[in-house]
Amino acid sequence: MTAPTAVRPDAPAPPPAPGRPAWRWISPVGAGAAVLLAGAPVSAVVQGGTWLGYAVAAVGLVVVLGTAAQRLAGAAVLIAQVLGLLELLTLLFTDSAFPGPGAFASAGDLLAEAGSTIDTGTAPVAGTPGILLLTTAAFGLLAVAVHGIAVSADAPAAGGVPLLCVFAVPTALADQLLPWWAVIAAAAGFGVLLVARDGGRRHAPAGAVVVAVAAVVALLAGSTVTLVGTGGRFTGNGAGGGGGSIGLNPFTSLRGQLTQSDPVELFRVTGLPGATYLRALTLREYVPDTGWQASAPQPGVPVAGPLSPNAPPGDPVTVDVENLGFRDYWLPVYGTPRSVTGVDEDRWAYDQSSGTAYSSRPREEASWQQQAVLPSPSAEQLRAASGPNVVDRAYLDTAGVDPRVSALAAQVTRGAGTEFDKAISLVDFFTGPDTRFRYSLQTAPGSGDDALVDFLTVGKAGYCEQYASAMAVMLRAVDVPARVAVGFTAGTDTADGRTVTTRDAHAWVEAWFPGYGWTLFDPTPLTDGRTVIPPYVQEAQDAQNAAAQDGQAQELQEDPLPAASDPARAEPTPPVDTPTPEPTAAQDTGSGTLGAVALTLLVALIVLGLLGGPVLARRVLRRRRLAAVAAGGPGAAAAAWAEILAGSRDRGYPLPRSDTVRTAARRLVREHEFDDGAQDSLRDVVRGVEASWYGGAHPDAGELTDAVRAVCAAIGGTRASLRQRLLPASVLEGIKELGAARRAGSRERETSGAG
């Protein structure tokens, strides 16, 4: 036989081909951990912990697929991850087994439900199927993006950019500052992303120090900013100017103040004779499906006064306000102000039409003194209020309000003979003993296309924003001028006066009555004692309760012992249309999370088996053959040659079985374009195989290891298609041969049995 190439002197064996490091799984796992840590703020917008189980499932699947397919091109890894994620979402949230028209339709319905929940609810929202689908898909896609950038493209620093998307969710849904631990988790996630790359472990200590310092600086910076305001943006032509706008709904900051775990002290007040609300601004414009919007104030007068020449009758007071942490465009005032001193009157103006004191930019005044009138009309005086309606017609505007809201307002106020009685009827509707409304910072999800209708008919849960908004609109619907006021409740009574904190942030309704002006009504069903019930409301409610008790007493006198079987005396049946409360995510048990994780693991195994099974089988066979080569002895040469032939077949160059070892070697050199080093290594393998097969001189332990690895590396350098990588031909051929051998054996047994 002739040698495959010209004879060359033997050269030292080349170093082993570089292989994947033993920690090849660290980078994908680090990317997944970074996504989950950066997703900590989602706990501020979704109730319960079910979402976390689904997020772990989605991210875990992406990590498994990314780790299994690391040797593939980046595009192939991305496709595998997206397809796996799509299958996971299909199994978790639809009745279909595989993605298709039916699955997409079901997912579309759930996403529409999620959109309605976001539009009508207040974060944290309930973990409905739609919200969970949206959250799971977002985490999965984010994990795919971070893996592609940080692992496939080996740019972990750039991978931090998509992690910022996680903070967009709390910003859009939760009008509050994120908890401190969310900042720590996000910073830790980015740190993991940086140090989990291949070769980055040596930088781990320095990276951990940098991340820790950044987190501490962020926390300290956040803790020093304690000033509270409405968060609005007012631009105008000076304190006395009329142009300008509020760029942010004032309810945004209001709810953020209510949900702070540690309330911030804002004001210390002295001189008040009793508990009363502190008004910052009022809202006139209602936009359906958007809410109440603050309008630019009218040109005002200097706050030094006189401010309200036509002030309604009431008790004059002098109030001193010490400001501890409030900075805003608005200067909070009590009742109907007559003058405000202690501030720069050139910077502050008072708009009598809206009842607000304002400035052209946010300011923090140390203290001020206010002369004011606290109106105290009686219920009978408000019932008898009469005179021309001189209020701006904008306070009666109901354009675009859903007709169902107007119909409900008419139904609730049916039988109310005066505008005051209409207001009392609506207050009782929300706060009376038979009400089904309840106070909650977590609003129930809606099911329709109008947020106000959903709140009034389905959810019936919310905080002061929902209640004040609803009652003001309903008052307008029955021809009572109304607006929403934003400010603070009376606060806490102390030895020196009263203390007002962020927890006292509140919204209420003001209705206009001829001769008495804007009069306070609070429809929010608070149960913590912060509500101030005005004397006129208390009088009306006491009269109603007395009338109800008289009616019950009269009924008992007429029929003291009603028959139990009398259908007319039977207990009332709840209305058939009463919605059954849905369990919230906060009531979920761990079964949902465990089920999601178990199902995810099953899906991951199936997908991994379909996409990674042949690849895994090829790696197992390669490892076994190389182990046999390293061990030496009778099987080493055969294992070495089998691995080389399998590698060539996987790269699309199968060698005929009839070829001798040297003929096959020539084909290998030609087809794979071996360089000189690879040819020398191949020559060593050919000599070892021929010596073992034909001379009985088997290789010693490790004798052929380096040569075989070098030849395999040269074959592996040949460009391979995605199909060749995912479906190694040597494995498929082996499966076919095994099946053929089994069939042949079966036929032989059948023939033997028949003979």
Residue 47 DSSP SS3: coil
Question: CA torsion, points 554, 560, 564, 567, in degrees to nearest 10?
Answer: -30
Q: Which residues are within 8 A (CB) of 405 and not within 5 positions of it... i.e. 6 or more apart? A: 452, 453, 456, 470, 473, 474, 477
pLDDT exceeds 50 at position 249: no
Helix axes 180-195, 204-224, angle to 10 degrees: 160
CA–centroid distance for 353 within its chain: 40
Residue 16 DSSP SS3: coil
Same domain as 255, residue 221: no
Mean pLDDT of 647-665: 85
pLDDT of residue 187: 66
pLDDT of residue 425: 93
Q: How confident is the model at residue 619 (pLDDT cuts 50, 70, 90)?
A: confident
pLDDT exceeds 70 at position 630: yes
d(CA 270, CA 26): 62
Mean pLDDT check: name the lowest of 12-26, 88-102, 320-334, 606-620. 12-26
**Residue 401 is assigned to a structural domain of this protein:** yes
Mean pLDDT of 639-647: 90
Largest distance between two CA atoms of the chain: 126
Mean pLDDT of 139-153: 81
When computed from its CA atoms, the radius of gyration of the chain, rounded to whole angstroms, is 38
Mean pLDDT of 341-361: 86
Same domain as 685, residue 610: yes
Same domain as 174, residue 82: yes
Cβ(686)–Cβ(666) under 8 Å? Answer: no
**Residue 20 is assigned to a structural domain of this protein:** no
pLDDT: is 616 or 241 the higher one?
Answer: 616
d(CA 660, CA 657): 8
Where is the domain boundary, 178, 208, 225? 225
Mean pLDDT of 437-452: 66
pLDDT of residue 503: 83
691-703 residue pLDDT tens: 888 888 889 988 9
Q: How confident is the model at residue 449 (pLDDT cuts 50, 70, 90)?
A: low
**Residue 557 is assigned to a structural domain of this protein:** no
452-474 residue pLDDT tens: 888 888 878 877 888 898 999 99
Length of the chain: 755
Give me the number of domains the chain comprises: 3
**Residue 590 is assigned to a structural domain of this protein:** no
pLDDT of residue 594: 45
**Residue 294 is assigned to a structural domain of this protein:** yes
Cβ(255)–Cβ(122) under 8 Å? Answer: yes
Same domain as 151, residue 292: no
Neighbours of 306 (CB within 10 A): 12
276-323 residue pLDDT tens: 999 988 988 888 877 787 777 778 888 887 887 777 788 889 999 998
Mean pLDDT check: name the lowest of 146-155, 302-311, 438-447. 438-447
| % of the chain exceeding 70 in pLDDT | 66
pLDDT of residue 105: 87
Same domain as 198, residue 260: no
d(CA 57, CA 132): 12
Q: How confident is the model at residue 593 (pLDDT cuts 50, 70, 90)?
A: very low
pLDDT: is 26 or 243 the higher one?
Answer: 26
Mean pLDDT check: name the lowest of 205-219, 271-285, 662-676. 205-219
Mean pLDDT of 38-50: 76
pLDDT of residue 225: 47
Same domain as 470, residue 383: yes
Cβ(355)–Cβ(280) under 8 Å? Answer: no
pLDDT of residue 203: 55
Q: Both tokens of residue 681?
A: 């290594």
Buried b (16+ CB within 10 A) or exposed e, 415-442: ebeebbbbbbbbbbbbbeeeeebebeeb
pLDDT of residue 589: 39
Q: Both tokens of residue 459?
A: 């959810």
pLDDT of residue 100: 86
pLDDT of residue 352: 85
Same domain as 496, residue 633: no
pLDDT exceeds 80 at position 23: no
pLDDT: is 175 or 448 the higher one?
Answer: 448
pLDDT exceeds 70 at position 553: no
Q: Which residues are within 8 A (CB) of 67 and not within 5 positions of it... i.e. 6 or more apart? A: 24, 25, 28, 29
**Residue 86 is assigned to a structural domain of this protein:** yes
Q: Which of 8-17, 70-79, 427-436 has the highest mean pLDDT?
A: 427-436
176-214 residue pLDDT tens: 445 656 666 666 776 676 666 554 555 556 556 666 665
Same domain as 347, residue 207: no
Q: Which residue carries 């036929």 as its tokens?
A: 747
pLDDT exceeds 60 at position 259: no
Same domain as 283, residue 196: no
569-580 residue pLDDT tens: 444 444 434 343
pLDDT: is 388 or 629 the higher one?
Answer: 629
Q: How confident is the model at residue 27 (pLDDT cuts 50, 70, 90)?
A: confident
Q: Which domain holds residue 634?
A: 601-749
Mean pLDDT of 393-404: 90
pLDDT: is 378 or 147 the higher one?
Answer: 378
Output the average pLDDT for the chain.
Answer: 75
Q: How confident is the model at residue 583 (pLDDT cuts 50, 70, 90)?
A: very low
Q: How confident is the model at residue 29 (pLDDT cuts 50, 70, 90)?
A: confident
pLDDT exceeds 70 at position 218: no
**H or E, element range at 454:** helix 451-454
Cβ(132)–Cβ(50) under 8 Å? Answer: yes
pLDDT of residue 557: 56
**Residue 81 is assigned to a structural domain of this protein:** yes
708-748 residue pLDDT tens: 999 988 887 766 665 666 678 887 777 766 666 666 665 56
**Residue 404 is assigned to a structural domain of this protein:** yes
469-513 residue pLDDT tens: 899 999 999 999 999 998 888 888 888 889 998 888 888 999 999
pLDDT of residue 246: 29
pLDDT exceeds 60 at position 566: no
pLDDT of residue 170: 58
Q: Which residue carries 């000033």 as its tokens?
A: 227
Same domain as 624, residue 676: yes
pLDDT of residue 744: 64
Residue 375 DSSP SS3: strand
Mean pLDDT check: name the lowest of 139-148, 253-262, 370-379, 614-623. 253-262
Q: How confident is the model at residue 531 (pLDDT cuts 50, 70, 90)?
A: confident
pLDDT: is 172 or 418 the higher one?
Answer: 418
Same domain as 464, residue 331: yes
Cβ(152)–Cβ(78) under 8 Å? Answer: yes
Q: List residues bridging with 246 in a β-sheet.
A: 234
Same domain as 453, residue 406: yes
pLDDT exceeds 60 at position 9: no
For the chain, the straight-line distance linking the first and the last C-alpha, in angstroms and rounded, comes to 47
Mean pLDDT of 254-274: 72
Q: Which residues are within 8 A (CB) of 401 and not within 5 positions of it... i.e. 6 or more apart? A: 286, 288, 452, 473, 476, 477
Which residue from 656, 665, 648 is spatially nearest to 712, judged by alpha carbons?
Answer: 648
pLDDT: is 585 or 71 the higher one?
Answer: 71
